[in-house]
Structure 1
């Protein structure tokens, strides 16, 4: 197929993807929220309740990060760092991992991360949200809303190659060979 035909075919596929996304947004808008407990997590200043992470916002993004041992989770967090101000203008945003607050703080400082972090170590938070399976942590995103004294989970999704939350994979998909076996690293020196 020549370039013009390929471009036209791909444009048609992208239009179908956008129509499917519109359908998904409508399904999401109609969800019956899941009540969740007001978990006690930890941060450098001490314990913090899930309800406190909302700050002045009614919506909260929680990134379920596997911690300092995962270069892929680190790449996602690097990307979130770049859009943090935009996200935090609309909703509260926090990254949660099993690492201790001191380990998180040192790792975040080394990467230049600006977003808040909490540790779910010693809690059932990540497991209850579905992000601890088969004996290991899983990456994902949960979205919560605060309605009065109640915390509701309104959506969640797993994070991984080709998801909607890391542009690198979509950029690689534009290459004829795709990612070609590439996997994120902590450093590229």
Structure 2
């Protein structure tokens, strides 16, 4: 399926729509403009598809009720999930940060993602309750935040609760089939970069509404899982490069 799609996109269908051929960049050829107009038509179709998927996501039936009112630990002390909803904001997103007990240092992929989110939190906070949890003592999380220069992220320690196991922020509840798919070794457990969204109804009931489950479906050749790509400006920026994403992998530091 993927290979057939790649063959199709190698030879774009020419677009004759005049509104897609109005721009002209210096030195471009007629062939470039024709191919670019055809690509623009596909980009417009992708825009429609993105909104269509988002609409279907918003229209999902109510999910399961929150399994328990988990207790986390933050900079201001213990806090339960029910206390993470600020007045007037009934949606909560929880990102599971891969900085569990099996790691000496945090996941570089999670770290680059949170580097970007930290700069956006002052805007995100206007509409959404967003927190980052990790199976790590709070002191370690705060020390790493200071090292990275994070100032806005709301960091919480799971403090040994079962949230990550219950909502697939770690591998402990995966089926044997899923473990084989994810290439886990016997006896090996890992924390996982899962994003879960919860909504509080008018009667105070908290339900799970969505999770980044593409993390747990089979990847396609050269694409990894891309479960949080729609939220990640770095990968989307790389996608407009002629070179594409290449084999780049984020690091905690660069020479």
Q: Which protein has the larger Cα radius of gyration, Structure 1 or Structure 2? A: 2
Question: How do 1:126-165 residues align onto structure 2 when only pairs under 5 Å count?
Answer: 126-133=164-171, 134=179, 135-147=189-201, 148-157=203-212, 161=226, 163-165=229-231
Q: Establish whether residue 20 from structure 1 lines up as the match of residue 57 from structure 2.
A: no
Superposition RMSD in Å: 2.0
Partners in 1 of 2:85 and 2:46 — Cα distance? 32
Partners in 2 of 1:138 and 1:5 — Cα distance? 44
Query: SS of the residue aligned with 1:137?
Result: coil
Paired position in structure 2 for 1:78: 115
Answer yes or no: is the 8 Å Cα contact 1:38–1:151 preserved in 2: no
Paired position in structure 2 for 1:171: 237
TM-score, scaled relative to structure 2: 0.68
Answer yes or no: is the 8 Å Cα contact 2:71–2:159 preserved in 1: no
Shift in Å, 1:155: 1.6
Paired position in structure 2 for 1:11: 40
Partners in 2 of 1:26 and 1:151 — Cα distance? 21
Ranked by relative contact order (alpha carbons within 8 Å, sequence separation 6 or more), the top structure is 1
Shift in Å, 1:174: 1.6
- Structure with higher strand content: 1
Shift in Å, 1:46: 3.0
Query: SS of the residue aligned with 1:78?
Result: helix
Query: SS of the residue aligned with 2:125?
Result: helix
Paired position in structure 2 for 1:184: 250
Provide the aligned length of Structure 1 versus Structure 2.
189
Which aligned segments of 4 or more residues in structure 1 are displaced greater than 4 angstroms? 158-162
Shift in Å, 1:121: 4.3
Relative distance call for 1:20 and 1:112 in structure 2 (3 A) is same
Answer yes or no: is the 8 Å Cα contact 2:110–2:193 preserved in 1: yes
Partners in 1 of 2:165 and 2:42 — Cα distance? 36
Query: SS of the residue aligned with 2:147?
Result: helix
- Segments of 5+ residues of structure 2 without an aligned counterpart are 1-10, 12-30, 100-104, 172-178, 180-188, 216-224
Paired position in structure 1 for 2:97: 65
Partners in 2 of 1:61 and 1:6 — Cα distance? 40
